[in-house]
Chain A
């Protein structure tokens, strides 16, 4: 499951959209040019070039080859113009997401300070159909952490992750949640046992509440890899 990645990708898309920046960024990224585009639609846009802020308002829709995003407002803050230029002149990092620190989030405008998606935020991964919802998604460029708040829900094949705050640490490739609860959806059982009275449910839902973490502290990080893989295999 690659939900943190597509969340990151969404946020990267936001910064790219709102940024009007030096053209040199195109030369800092390796790889050949593709014909794929990300389309972003909104009712209105306010872009302050001097302050480095772009605000999309009203029915904001981001359509990407890999994911869709819907929200009501998106605010993107960029670093200073000097920083943007410096960032675009920096050589591209070759490290992967799992080895070494990740490269700072870069859009067309260079280094991103923060990205905020507001109100009825829905992010859908087209590949695995996972879906994240919340009222606010914030990316902090200094910490490389994406924070989903406002009744955040992460729905995956394995189940549904709920919490007060769902954090995705891009630098350490870690997913964590405060006051988290995981609802695991088990696949239908294949047994010879006689059916119970009434209709059997298509799936059995098991709720495994996680004790809430202490206040102002993070709950133990939930690694995506620790999700019950066996159940996934049995589904296939």
Chain B
């Protein structure tokens, strides 16, 4: 007795599924990932790490592209975007909640009045520490820190 064509079709699909399950290029890529960090006392969201893509690496780290970190402050229980850190790529250690990269980075205030650029950074999400290793360059809009006499003259 010959197997029915449907049987072969099902068998073929099963083989495809098995092959896919064993791994294809791009397998394990997650898109639009978010790693939040909350204040342990208040429970409020302190910072949020976004990633365009995230790939699990063999050493247990997570390769993230299109990284963006947002930090927040609160006024009258309203959340206010405070600082933004961006990098084309970084490695995120989920255990220590630390993002790091030897590549370029940029940080700036939400209103754009402050910009920081550097090469090589580490962002520790639990204690909100940012370290920039090399070539730190900062631009600050001068009119934000005029002396009282000068600002009153305007």
Contacts and interface: CB of A to CB of B under 8 A. Distances in A.
Given A39-B139, A44-B134, A103-B148, A85 B113 contact: no
A33 interface: yes
Interface residues of B, number: 43
B113 A47 contact: no
Q: Is the interface of B mostly helix, strand, loop or mixed?
A: strand
Contacts of B151: 29-31, 92
B133 interface: yes
Interface string B114-154: 10101000000001111111111111111111111101111
A54 to B, nearest CB: 9
Contact of B152 (A5, A15, A30, A50): A30
A20 B148 contact: no
Interface string A21-36: 1111110011111101
A186 interface: no
Nearest to A100: B148
Contact of B145 (A12, A20, A32): A12
Given A20-B107, A22-B75, A50-B127, A13 B145 contact: yes
Contacts of B147: 5, 8-9, 12, 97
A220 B132 CA distance: 44
B82 interface: yes
Contacts of B114: 16-17, 19-20, 108
18 contacts: A5-B149, A8-B147, A12-B146, A13-B140, A15-B145, A16-B144, A17-B140, A23-B81, A23-B82, A30-B152, A31-B151, A37-B141, A43-B136, A45-B136, A47-B129, A85-B74, A96-B148, A96-B149
